[in-house]
Structure 1
Amino acid sequence: MQSTLERASHWLALLCKLVAGIALLGLLGVTIVDVTTRYLARLTDGSVALSVTGSVELVSYLMLFSLLAAMAANVEKSQVVVEAFSHGLSPTIKNRLHGVYLLGFTALGLVLFYGLLESGSSAARYGEVTQDLRIPMGPIYYAAAVLSLMLGLRSLVHALLSAIFGVEGEVSHGE
């Protein structure tokens, strides 16, 4: 069971890293094109007036996806250790405390998932769209909900690995 959980977590982490990477590349691409077109307009005193419509909107949603995916991909590396409290404890007990700590991230991911799922359902029902580009908000909320669910699932997997099996937070997979 332990190796199955580790393998599942590993593949979920890879998927989340891929999503975060694509979102960051998109974010950087939009930003570079927007800055370049603004600078070109300034250099030509407005005769070349290109702009990226909805760039702020695109960047904000891509940032949301990249942050949620990166959090989900790296949840096992998120332990905050307070040395004053854990100084004399064995590594196994520290790992088990880390598991309990990750249950909080599990709850956070599941609460975000539920809230975003409700928002997506409401947005789809009422035809809510983004302000500038008029993109339907439902799929945006649903995508964020899936990434929040990944955060909750990976947190739960690592909470189980740490709390029950006493395994270290970062599981090596020969990367």
Structure 2
Amino acid sequence: MQTYLERASHWLALLCRWVAGVALVALLLVTIADVSTRYLYRLTEGAIALRVSGSVELVSYLMLCSLLAAMAANVEKSQVVVEALSHSLPQWIKNRLHGVYLIGFAALGLVLFTGLLDSAAAASRHGEVTQDLRLPMGPIYYAAAVLSLLLGVRSALHALLGALFGVEGEVSNGE
């Protein structure tokens, strides 16, 4: 059971890292294209007027995806341990406390998931679109909901690993 949970967490982390990486690279490409076209416009004194339409909007939604995916990918490594309260405790107790602490992150991920799922359904029903590019908001909310669900699932997996098995925060490579 423990090995299965570790492997599931490992593969979900890889998926989340991949999503975060793709979103971050896309964000950088949009930013570079926007800055380059603005500079080209200034250099040519308006002769070449290329623009990246909706760049601020694209960057904000790509940032949302990259942050949610990165949070889900690194949930087991992202917690600060207050050593003043736990420095004298054995490691297995610290691991179990960390697992209990991650139950809160699992709940947070699930609350975000349900809220974003409701927002996605409402946006799809009402035809809500983004301000600049007129992209439908429903798929954006659905993507954020899935990434929030991954945050909740990975937190729950590590809560189980820590609270039940006393496994340290960072899992092995799935081996």
Deviations 1:89-123 (A, max 9, x none): 00000000101111111011001000000000000
Partner of 2:118: 118
Q: Which runs of 5+ in 2 are unaligned?
A: none
Q: Residues 89-108 of structure 1: matches in 2 within 5 Å?
A: 89-108=89-108
CA contact (8 A) 2:10 2:174 kept: no
Q: Which runs of 5+ in 1 are unaligned?
A: none
Q: Report the AA paired with residue 13 of structure 1.
A: A
Question: Which amino acid in 2 is paired with 1:119?
Answer: S
Distance in 2 (CA, whole Å) between partners of 1:174 and 1:66 is 23
CA distance in 1, matches of 2:83, 2:37: 50
Number of the residue aligned with 2:50: 50
Taking the aligned partners of 1:78 and 1:66, their CA distance within structure 2 comes to 16
Q: Who is 2:34 aligned against?
A: 34
**AA in 1 matched with 2:88:** G
Contact 2:6 2:174 in 1 (8 A): no
After superposing on structure 2, the runs of 4+ consecutive aligned residues of structure 1 that deviate more than 2 Å are none
Paired with 2:124 and 2:141, the residues of 1 have a C-alpha distance of 9
The within-5 A match list for 1:6-155 is 6-155=6-155
Amino acid at match of 2:144: A
The structural deviation recorded for 1:78 is: 1.3
TM-score when normalising by structure 2: 0.98
* RMSD of aligned residue pairs (Cα, Å): 1.0
How far apart, in 2, do the equivalents of 1:174 and 1:12 lie? 11
Letter in 1 for 2:161: L
Q: Identity rate of aligned residues, in percent? A: 78
Shift of 1:172: 1.6
Matched AA of 1:32: I
2:93 is matched by which residue type in structure 1?
Answer: I
> Across the two proteins, how many residue pairs are aligned to each other?
175
Q: Distance in 1 between matches of 2:98 and 2:147?
A: 22
Give me the whole-angstrom Cα distance separating, in 1, the residues matched to 2:173 and 2:67. Answer: 23
Letter of the 1:74 counterpart: N
Q: SS at 1:77's partner residue?
A: coil
1:174 Cα shift?
7.1
Residues 117-155 of structure 1 show CA distances to partners (whole Å, capped at 9, x for unaligned) of 000000000000001111100000000000000000000
Secondary structure of the corresponding residue to residue 47 of structure 2: coil
Quote the Cα distance in structure 2 between the aligned partners of 1:47 and 1:82: 59
Amino acid at match of 1:24: L
- What code does the residue aligned with 2:39 have? Y
